[in-house]
Amino acid sequence: MRLSKSLLSALVLSVAIGVSLNEANATERQFSFGLISTPDASHDIGGFNSNGGFSNVDDRNASVNGLYIAYGAKDLFRLGTLPITVEAEIAVTNSDVVTNSFPGAPGPVLFFYNTHINSQRLAANLWTPIWSQSDWMLEGGTGLGVQALNIRVSDGVVTGNSSDYVLYGMLGLRMSKEITESSGLELGLRYSDTGTANIPLDGGASGNYEYSQSGLSVLLGWRLDM
């Protein structure tokens, strides 16, 4: 799914405005940063290699690792009796995966695509408390945003090097432990999925390579309360 630069800019602006509007009302704002890892991410491949006349369909598992930062407005509003924290999140990740090329499934496969994926994500997340005790808190949340997938792929014959914007969604849990009055540890677990990026092969002359990503991620970070 392609999104124009103007639409992406509008999304960035809307998230920034939504969080900044909170500053007059929120009792607390939060800033967090840390590591994110998807150890067994699913890399779903599609498209068609018209140069060789075969499908690129494949599904492989490989790790995705990166960094995240987030800025949130705690208890910005209530949904019924539930206090809702609104959060803007940016994440940068990298991954490498090897998938089937010529002659395609079911094989035997003689050539393979070597693919490098660099991505940047902007998302708006909503969190609500599930359980708390003393300095501990467990929250459940959901998020929606846009992910830029920058993909470089080659099987030694055809190549693709392009970017595409896709939708991103997640469901997750996070546990926080207060260490000082204004900071603490954060541990998160979330399932995320993206839309499908379309990468032209040899500028489109040799077909296309489709890519999407999903999996269960672990986040470990530090949170500052302001």
Q: What is the per-residue pLDDT across 75-116, written as a single tens digit (0 to 9) for each? A: 999 999 999 999 999 999 999 999 999 987 777 889 999 999
CATH number for position 36: 2.40.160.70
Average pLDDT, the chain: 90
10-14, 50-54, 98-102, 219-223: least confidently modelled range: 10-14
Cα of 193 vs its chain's centroid, Å: 7
Query: 135 near 180, Cβ under 8 Å?
Result: no
pLDDT confidence band for 2 (50 / 70 / 90): very low
- Coil, helix or strand for 156? coil
Residue 8: the pLDDT is 52
The domain tally of the chain equals 1
Residue 156 pLDDT grade (very low, low, confident, very high; cuts 50, 70, 90) = very high
Structural domain for 155, as ranges: 5-225
- Please check the confidence at residue 21 and state whether its pLDDT lies above 50: no
Is 46 within 8 Å of 196 (Cβ atoms)?
A: yes
